């Protein structure tokens, strides 16, 4: 197993795409944009990482360390330059039960195992299955995530210190009212206005960074009494120390952490790969799905040994980075390094930043992330696709991203199967090669969904002694299709009639051969995959 994984890794990742500047040189102007974009992302990462640490029921530094290490490693070796990774709420809501029952050390061990599972997924190239996610599911994912980001900011409109950490995140608390609320809303609106106007004035400084900086200076200079980053928690700390999870190395521990590790690995990869596709669409560049799986796995494995809570791609921060001009690995690396600088040296300064400025930035991310054209699209696409968009959006908000994507894919697959099941039909005519024979020209795919409809196409009692089933316009897909053919043949055999199969493509021929059918190759079999005039006579179909 290990040798196979090693060989697969070497084949796929011998020359990974680690280019920092895919299409342009690292000029001073480009470097400035990347560094300022990284600084903007780092400022937005601080309250998010602290909040998600509270959700998971761990110390804020556990979230900040994860944001730093996961962000740095994925920026270095990830599949999509421009993506930002760190501690996320989607993972935190799963971690809280583990921390509450077994403690933070089991969380660190789980994060290590989670990373190993993600590495295996990347080596086995399972990331390519993200292409099975239909576009309506992607639209629902984007819309749902935008709503989740918006709702996550509502906690900043509560009185600092009035919320309690129940182990399920910060809950309860009194809402701001009166002048504090008006002041908060005013600063949020001012930040959003600056972000909207700034690109029309100059692009020297990223608009989100300008919004944060101007509002922060205004608040500090005027001494306004508004909630600030320091009101959430102190972010002062040291370098993350190497720490082997203090858990018993036995089977019982493995049984405890494995279910959580599998769920976290799946959620992390789904969110990361969907974000990879989204960022790729915005930047016009394709990313490596399997390479991203490897990067996520390595980052989480390392994070687990340095006291971090693990993480995955963050769509909000990725959007901030892209909108600020970040296009290379430099921006992601800069964001991680700036975050480390904040923790080590600049905590007192960063703690003075008003939360209203960061909320304003995230609100602009919400506006830019939500697929507003989906309202127009839903009036034009099939009703089922519109339903999937709404369903995924609602499930993302009510449950989580992974559940929403799985539900959306299942519903889309069932709808596709149902539509194809209704396509099966037959055109009948007299045979020109076999006198007195009746030909059924099957049209539409033959699979589990259409097997019953296929059986209903034939009029066995009224058909002549020789019947030809022509599959030129059809395809035999699965075992259910083979069983349907066997059932029809058995009925004709019981009636003393002969059934002949014609124009089976080569892959269908192989399926029938695997099922034990007596299929004899012809010398004139075409190379493009048709098998002509295979006769299935009484007792031969399914009899050998």
Give the span between the Cα atoms of 247 and 258, in whole angstroms: 14
314 lies in some domain: yes
211 lies in some domain: yes
**Tens digits of residue pLDDT in 479-515:** 888 888 888 888 888 888 888 888 776 666 665 555 4
254 lies in some domain: yes
Instruction: DSSP letter for 231, please.
Output: G
Please, is 404 exposed, middle or buried when counting C-beta atoms within 10 Å of its C-beta (0-12, 13-18, 19+)? buried
1 lies in some domain: no
In 3-state terms, what secondary structure has residue 530?
A: strand
Bigger pLDDT: 89 vs 513? 89
pLDDT over 90, % of the chain: 39
Given 316, 350, 378, which residue is the final one in a domain?
Answer: 378
pTM of the model: 0.76
**Tens digits of residue pLDDT in 194-251:** 999 998 888 888 889 999 999 999 999 999 989 999 888 889 989 999 999 999 999 9
Number of domain units in the chain: 3
Please give the residue range of the domain that contains residue 68.
28-155+177-378
Residue in this structure with the two tokens 């839903």, named with its chain if needed: 378
399 lies in some domain: yes
Given 378, 396, 412, which residue is the final one in a domain?
Answer: 378
Q: Does one domain contain both 337 and 206?
A: yes
83 lies in some domain: yes
Q: Does one domain contain both 149 and 257?
A: yes
Paired tokens of 416: 């596709």
Q: How far is CA 5 from the centre of its chain?
A: 24
Phi and psi for 156 in degrees, rounded to 5?
-75, -10
Q: Does one domain contain both 399 and 450?
A: no
Q: If you count them, how many residues does the chain have?
A: 544
Q: Does one domain contain both 305 and 408?
A: no
Question: Dihedral through CA 350, CA 356, CA 361, CA 363, nearest 10?
Answer: 150
Q: Does one domain contain both 308 and 356?
A: yes
E strands in 125-261: 164-165, 170-171
Q: Does one domain contain both 481 and 495?
A: yes
Q: Does one domain contain both 313 and 391?
A: no
Q: How confident is the model at residue 111 (pLDDT cuts 50, 70, 90)?
A: very high
Q: Does one domain contain both 417 and 429?
A: no
Q: What integer pLDDT is reported at residue 470 of this predicted model?
A: 86
Residue in this structure with the two tokens 């007195």, named with its chain if needed: 436
Q: Does one domain contain both 258 and 303?
A: yes
541 lies in some domain: no
Q: Does one domain contain both 409 and 297?
A: no
The CATH number given to whatever domain includes residue 458 is: 3.30.750.24
pLDDT over 70, % of the chain: 85
- Per-residue 3-state assignment (H helix, E strand, C coil) for 33-91: HHHHHHHHHHHHHHHHHHHHHHHHCCCHHHHHHHHHHHHHHHHHHCCCCCCCEECCHHH
Q: Does one domain contain both 44 and 182?
A: yes
Q: What integer pLDDT is reported at residue 167 of this predicted model?
A: 40
Nearest to residue 69, comparing CAs of 90, 89, 85?
Answer: 85
Neighbours of 42 (CB within 10 A): 26
Q: How confident is the model at residue 84 (pLDDT cuts 50, 70, 90)?
A: very high
Q: Does one domain contain both 301 and 199?
A: yes
**Tens digits of residue pLDDT in 326-353:** 988 999 999 999 999 999 999 999 999 9
160 lies in some domain: no
Given 368, 391, 421, which residue is the final one in a domain?
Answer: 421
């Amino acid at each position: 197993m290990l040798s196979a994984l090693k060989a697969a890794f070497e084949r796929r990742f011998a020359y990974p795409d680690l280019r920092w500047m895919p299409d342009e040189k690292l000029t001073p102007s480009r470097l400035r944009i990347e560094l300022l974009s990284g600084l903007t992302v780092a400022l937005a990462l601080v309250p998010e990482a602290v909040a998600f640490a509270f959700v998971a029921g761990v110390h804020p530094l556990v979230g900040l360390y994860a944001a730093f290490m996961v962000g740095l490693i994925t920026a270095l070796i990830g599949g999509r330059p421009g993506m930002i990774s760190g501690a996320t709420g989607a993972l935190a809501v799963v971690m809280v039960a583990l921390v509450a029952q077994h403690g933070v050390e089991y969380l660190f061990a789980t994060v290590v195992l989670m990373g190993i599972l993600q590495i295996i997924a990347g080596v086995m190239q399972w990331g390519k299955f993200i292409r099975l996610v239909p576009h309506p599911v992607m639209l629902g994912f984007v819309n749902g995530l935008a709503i989740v980001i918006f709702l996550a900011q509502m906690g900043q409109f509560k009185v600092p210190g009035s919320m309690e950490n129940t182990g399920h995140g910060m809950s309860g608390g009194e809402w701001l009212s009166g002048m504090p609320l008006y002041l908060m809303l005013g600063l949020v609106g001012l930040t959003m206005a600056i972000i909207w106007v700034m690109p029309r004035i100059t692009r020297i400084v990223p608009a989100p960074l300008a919004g944060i900086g101007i509002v922060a200076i205004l608040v500090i200079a005027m001494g306004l009494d508004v909630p600030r980053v320091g009101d959430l928690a102190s972010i002062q700390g040291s370098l993350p120390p190497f720490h082997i999870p203090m858990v018993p190395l036995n089977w019982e521990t493995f049984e405890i952490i494995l279910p959580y590790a599998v769920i976290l690995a799946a959620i992390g990869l789904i969110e990361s790969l969907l974000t990879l596709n989204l960022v790729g669409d915005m930047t016009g560049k394709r990313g490596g799905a399997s390479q991203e799986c490897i990067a996520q796995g390595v980052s989480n494995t390392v994070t687990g040994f340095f006291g971090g809570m693990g993480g995955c791609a963050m769509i909000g921060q990725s959007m901030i980075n892209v909108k600020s001009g970040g296009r290379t690995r430099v921006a992601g690396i800069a964001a991680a390094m700036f975050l480390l600088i904040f923790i080590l040296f600049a905590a007192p300064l960063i703690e003075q930043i008003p939360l209203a400025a960061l909320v304003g930035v995230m609100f602009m991310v919400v506006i830019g992330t939500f697929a507003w054209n989906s309202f127009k699209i839903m009036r034009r696409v099939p009703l089922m696709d519109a339903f999937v968009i709404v369903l995924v959006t609602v499930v993302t908000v009510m449950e989580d991203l992974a559940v929403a994507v799985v539900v959306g894919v299942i519903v889309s697959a069932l709808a596709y199967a149902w539509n194809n099941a209704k396509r099966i039909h037959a055109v009948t005519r007299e045979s020109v090669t076999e006198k007195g024979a009746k030909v059924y020209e099957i049209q539409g795919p033959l699979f589990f969904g259409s097997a019953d409809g296929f059986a209903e196409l034939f009029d066995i009692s009224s058909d002549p002694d020789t019947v030809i089933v022509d599959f030129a316009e059809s395809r035999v897909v699965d075992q259910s299709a083979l069983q349907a053919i066997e059932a029809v043949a058995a009925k004709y055999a019981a009636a003393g009639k002969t059934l002949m199969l014609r124009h089976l493509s080569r892959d269908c021929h192989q399926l029938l051969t695997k099922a034990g059918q007596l299929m004899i190759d012809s010398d004139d079999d075409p190379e493009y995959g048709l098998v002509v005039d295979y006769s299935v006579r009484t007792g031969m179909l399914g009899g050998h």
